[in-house]
Homo-oligomer: A and B are copies of this chain.
Amino acid sequence: MRIAIDAMGGDHAPSLIVKGALEAASEMPGVRLLLVGDAEQIKTHLGAQVPPNIEIVHADDVIGPDDEPVKAVRRKKSSSMVMAGQLVREGKAEAMLSAGNTGALMTTGLLVVGRLEGIERPALVSMLPTMDDVGVLALDLGANMDAKPEHLLQYSIMGSIYRAKMNGLNKPRVGLLNVGTEAMKGNELTKAAYDLLEAAPIHFIGNVEARDVLLRNCDVLVCDGFAGNIMLKAMEGTAGTLFKTLRDVFSSSLLSKLAAAVVMPKLRLLRKKMDYNEHGGAPLLGINGLVFKCHGSSDVKAVKNTVRQAKLAIESNLVASIAAEISRK
C-alpha cells in the first residue's frame, strides 16, 4: 500500500509534514509513504535514519496558497501537489494527501486524478464537531457553491458509503439541511432534493435544522456549499464570540478570576470540542482515487491521522464501493 504525501503544502511545510510522515511510517510499517517535494529540503527534515518505508519523489515546483487553482494545476505540472495526484492517477499510489491550497487540491482531484463516471460534482467532505465528540459528516461545506437536486442526491450516497465503510455505521442517518423539519419546508432546491433522497438507497431521516447539528441530529448532513458554509461560519462565529465574552466576564474581578480557575479546565475542553480545525483530514469524494485534504495549519498529529484515514479508506475499498453504487443507478 502506497500513500503519496505533498510534502510542500501547508503552513508548516515541509518540516511538520515530514515529521508527521516519520511518525506515520513508524506506526504503520505496512504503508509505503512517498514524500513528494524538494528532495534536499525533505532530506534535511528526515534526518540520518530514513525508515525503509519512506521514499522521496523529487518535485521542482510548489503551488502556493495564493495561486489561482485551475491555472496553477494546469501550468505547474512539476509541483509537489500535481505530481502526487499523478502518482494516484498512474496507480503508483493508492491515495494522496496535501495540506496545501484547497482549491488547487480539488482541481488536482478533478483534472489530474479524474472524476468517477456518473458523478457530476465531487464533494469535499468535512466532519462537523458535535457535543458528544462523535461528529456529523457534512457535504458540501463550500467546495461547490451552487448545487442541483441531483448533486445533493449524489452527496447523500457518497456520504452514506463513507460513514458505513470508514466509521462502521450500519444505517447512517442522512439529514437534509433545511429551515424546518416538515417535508414541505425549504427552497426550490431542497424541495426537489427531498423527493430524490426519499427514493434513494440510503437511510433518509428527512429535513434537519442547523440548530440541532451540535446535538448530532444525523450522521450525514447534506446541503449545498453556500448554505453549508453559512451554517458553519455562523456556528464558529457564535462559539468564538461567546467564549471571548466568557473570558471577559471571568477576568472582570478578583472573585470572578477565582471562579474561572474552578471551571476553566472544563471550558477549555468545551472550546476544543467546538474547534472545527481540530478534526482530521477531509476526503474529496467522487473522484477516481483517494485525495485527502489536511488543514493548512496541520501539525504532526494531523498528518499522521490523515495517513491513518487514507489507509482505512484503501483497505475498505471506499472508491470502488462508491463507483459501484453510482453506476447502479
Contacts and interface: CB of A to CB of B under 8 A. Distances in A.
A210 interface: yes
Given A239-B242, A249-B270, A230 B227 contact: yes
Interface in A83-110: none
Given A131-B245, A146-B187, 11 more contacts: A179-B230, A179-B233, A187-B226, A214-B238, A227-B227, A230-B231, A235-B237, A242-B270, A246-B270, A249-B263, A259-B259
Nearest to A270: B245
A240 B211 CA distance: 8
A258 interface: yes
Interface in A234-276: 234-242, 245-246, 249-250, 252, 255-256, 258-260, 262-263, 266-267, 270, 274
A177 interface: yes
Contact of A237 (B188, B209, B224, B249): B209
A46 to B, nearest CB: 37
A233 to B, nearest CB: 4
Contact of A238 (B235, B246, B255): B235
Contact of A230 (B210, B259, B262): B210
- Top 4 nearest A-B pairs by Cβ distance? A211-B237, A259-B259, A234-B234, A210-B234
Interface in A192-215: 209-215
A234 B211 contact: yes
A231 B229 contact: no
Contacts of A227: 226-227, 230
29 contacts: A131-B241, A145-B186, A145-B187, A146-B188, A179-B226, A179-B230, A209-B233, A210-B234, A211-B234, A211-B237, A211-B240, A214-B238, A215-B241, A227-B227, A230-B230, A231-B234, A234-B235, A234-B238, A235-B238, A238-B239, A239-B242, A246-B267, A246-B270, A249-B263, A249-B267, A256-B263, A259-B260, A259-B262, A259-B263
Nearest to A188: B146
A234 B186 CA distance: 16
Nearest to A241: B214
Contact of A266 (B179, B252, B258): B252
Contacts of A239: 238, 242
Interface residues of A, number: 51
Contacts of A229: 179
Contact of A231 (B213, B231, B246): B231
Interface of A: 131, 142, 145-146, 177, 179, 186-188, 190, 209-215, 224-227, 229-242, 245-246, 249-250, 252, 255-256, 258-260, 262-263, 266-267, 270, 274
A234 B209 CA distance: 8
Contacts of A212: 237
Contacts of A145: 179, 186-188
A139 to B, nearest CB: 15
